[in-house]
Amino acid sequence: MQDIPYNMNYDYGDLLREVPEDAESLRQGIEFLQDKIKESIGKKEKLKLYSQLGFYQRLLGSYQESLQSFDEATHLVNELNENNYLDSQLDAIEIRRSVTLLWMGKISQAQSSLTKLQEKHEAMKDSKYLDFIYQHYGKLKFEQKQFKTALDLFLKALEIRIVKGNIELISSTELAIAKTRENL
């Protein structure tokens, strides 16, 4: 993945939403990604860049642009997806799209998408994304003030993340659990 020479870091706000540490630097990073996409690069790299771009656009409140970037990424996956090799990539994009929909206030669309993803990934033997689905579904429930359900989802995500051993993901889930328990 292309290194971005800007501060793209974020913290978590009261609603467990990502908040940029430096919005102006993030805006410059978005322009950097857009320039990279315009350069002559392969479809796989463009796919990664569009997915990343959609995430960062959401952080700045550019929801329509975020959805457009996820649409571009989905289009590229479908072009490259021989023998369903990239189906998991489609699911990763859909998780991110669901969060954008949530932030736009399109709760039922976000919930419908996350429910389908949860059902699909719970049925899989080795899902790479089930913890992300639980985490983001938990955030949706948190925003709906369904704190018990949110807590249950965060605890499921934490269990998976502990096994994965990713400290950053574990920390974000522990923060979500703490904020949720404050509201019980």
Q: Specify whether domain 107-184 bears CATH 1.25.40.
A: yes
Query: How far apart are the C-alpha atoms of 75 and 22, rounded to whole Å?
Result: 31
pTM: 0.93
Please give the Cα distance from 152 to 143 (Å, whole number). Answer: 14
Q: Give the list of residues 6+ apart from residue 178 with CB closer than 8 angstroms, or none.
A: none
Evaluate whether 1-105 and 107-184 have a shared fold: yes
Q: Considering only CA atoms, which of 179, 115, 132 is closest in space to residue 151?
A: 179
Domain residue ranges of the chain, discontinuous segments joined by +: 1-105, 107-184
Which overall architecture, per CATH, does domain 1-105 show? Alpha Horseshoe (1.25)
- Minimal CA–CA distance to 11: which of 3, 2, 19, 1? 19
Please, which residues bridge with residue 20 across strands? 10
Q: How would you write the pLDDT of the chain (184 residues) with one tens digit per residue? A: 458 999 999 999 999 999 999 999 999 999 999 999 998 678 889 999 999 999 999 999 999 999 999 999 999 998 887 766 678 889 999 999 999 999 999 999 999 999 999 999 999 988 999 999 999 999 999 999 999 999 999 999 999 999 999 999 999 999 999 999 999 9
